[in-house]
Structure 1
Amino acid sequence: MAHDVTVPDEEFWDTRYAASDRMWSGRPNSALVREAGDLAPGRALDLGCGEGADAIWLAERGWEVTAVDISRVALGRAAEHAAAAAVADRVNWQQHDLGTTFPGGTFDLVTAQFLHSPTSAMPRDSILRKAAGAVAPGGVLLIVGHAGLPAWEPDCEVHLPTPEEVVENLGLPDEQWELLRCEEHPSFRTGHDGKPDPRTDNTVKLRRRTA
């Protein structure tokens, strides 16, 4: 069944999160662990934080995290998980519709993991350009996205850009940014039916130059 694109994003995601006690695994995204595991802790911005697993993983490693989502249901659940992990004082949870409002400040790491929405024409490119603008000199922008839809969402009409398209749409000047990674890679997860759901994801990682 195709998603009703007339439903506002906040309502869609609140309803989806409220339908179960936990929507995601509770584990941090593997690409974040791989790409940020050796970064020195500083200030991080997690865009589309969901139930908080990535933000909590960063906080446990010494980062001060601003974690953003459109769903108040998800943010409430994430705050509970952070308290249980004893890192509540390291995470600032904020509700934003990123197409309209964006958190202030600059950050040593800005991460956007699977920032897709099936409900509307979310201005993803514009949001990611704002994300780049929030990266401090010497900081890292990490964007991870799906390159193919799962078998259980065949009717979802969302354009999933290649990593090269992501870089092109960012439009960042080469003299100010160093491209560290731009690639597709296999990803293995469990689908809604409990069966393995292999697919392809992509990763774009850039560092803002200090001079």
Structure 2
Amino acid sequence: MTTHEQYTAAFWDERYGSSERIWSGEPNAVLVAEVADLAPGTALDVGSGEGGDAIWLAARGWRVTAVDVSGVALERVAARAAAEGLGERVTTRAVDLFADDLPGGFDLVTMHFMQLPGAERPRLYRAVAGAVAPGGTLLIVGHDPEGMPPEAEHHHPPDMFATAEQLVGELGDAIAGWTVEVAERRGRDAVQPDGRPRFLYDAVLRVRRPGRMGPSRA
């Protein structure tokens, strides 16, 4: 299988279709930490999966557009949003990040653990940054290369992991003049698929675009 095949609708529809649920349904911890005290506005959740982050944001007053390559995943997002009375706050949209344009003009754009090929990452992350409205926030979280288990290479070649500082450099002029609020390696306890505990590091990047006042910290 090529790296790009891991990002196709066919690949992810098959994976989601093989199980009733593959993620926890809970929001990512970094999202909660970094966004909990932002005033709600419009949000774009890139690579939303089954919607843990999108639902959490919507429940806190955000109007969320959840995008993913998998129609199966997006059906689950929409169904959960409806079941929790959040259907009017969550919109789903099928997007292939490698081929389609992203919608833009969002107060918050967030993307978590969407590990991208090193050669493609600058172009794709710059496209994601372009979806942020003036005054808005971009939050990117990925696996930092430090401490990644060797078995991770089975799914992700080493060049798919980057530090927050590398991401700043790769975004380059796409975030020229933006305020880098957080760019750090952040440790956390995790559990491997076989149940073994492991300590991992996340690369956390939060930047704010200049312009009109968007959601601000209380």
| Contact residue 102 and residue 127 of structure 2 kept, 8 A | no
Partner Cα distance (2:208, 2:3) in 1: 35
Partner Cα distance (1:5, 1:168) in 2: 23
Partner Cα distance (2:14, 2:166) in 1: 31
Aligned to 1:168: 169
TM-score normalised per structure 1: 0.89
Name structure 1 gaps, 5 residues minimum: none
Q: 1:53 to 1:166 in 2, by over 3 A?
A: same
Partner Cα distance (2:152, 2:202) in 1: 15
Cα offset, 1:79, TM superposition: 1.4
Aligned to 2:207: 206
Secondary structure of the equivalent of 1:176? Answer: coil
Cα offset, 1:76, TM superposition: 1.1
Aligned to 2:179: 178
Name structure 2 gaps, 5 residues minimum: 213-218
Aligned to 1:129: 126
Aligned to 2:137: 140
Secondary structure of the equivalent of 2:103? Answer: coil
Partner Cα distance (1:199, 1:17) in 2: 25
Aligned to 1:157: 157
Question: How many percent identity over aligned positions?
Answer: 44
| Contact residue 115 and residue 124 of structure 1 kept, 8 A | no
Partner Cα distance (1:134, 1:44) in 2: 10
Partner Cα distance (2:123, 2:4) in 1: 21
Q: 1:91 to 1:192 in 2, by over 3 A?
A: same
Aligned length: 207
Tell whether 2:5 aligns with 1:18. Answer: no
Cα offset, 1:195, TM superposition: 3.0
Partner Cα distance (1:95, 1:6) in 2: 17
Partner Cα distance (1:75, 1:174) in 2: 29
RMSD (Å), alpha carbons: 2.1
| Contact residue 28 and residue 53 of structure 1 kept, 8 A | yes
Q: 1:205 to 1:89 in 2, by over 3 A?
A: same
Q: 1:38 to 1:96 in 2, by over 3 A?
A: same
Secondary structure of the equivalent of 1:198? Answer: strand
Cα offset, 1:179, TM superposition: 0.5
Q: How does 1:50-199 map to 2 (within 5 A)?
A: 50-116=49-115, 123-148=120-145, 149-150=148-149, 152-155=151-154, 156-159=156-159, 160-172=161-173, 176-199=177-200
Cα offset, 1:122, TM superposition: 7.9
Moved more, 76-85 or 28-37: 76-85
Amino acid at match of 1:135: V
Amino acid at match of 1:143: I
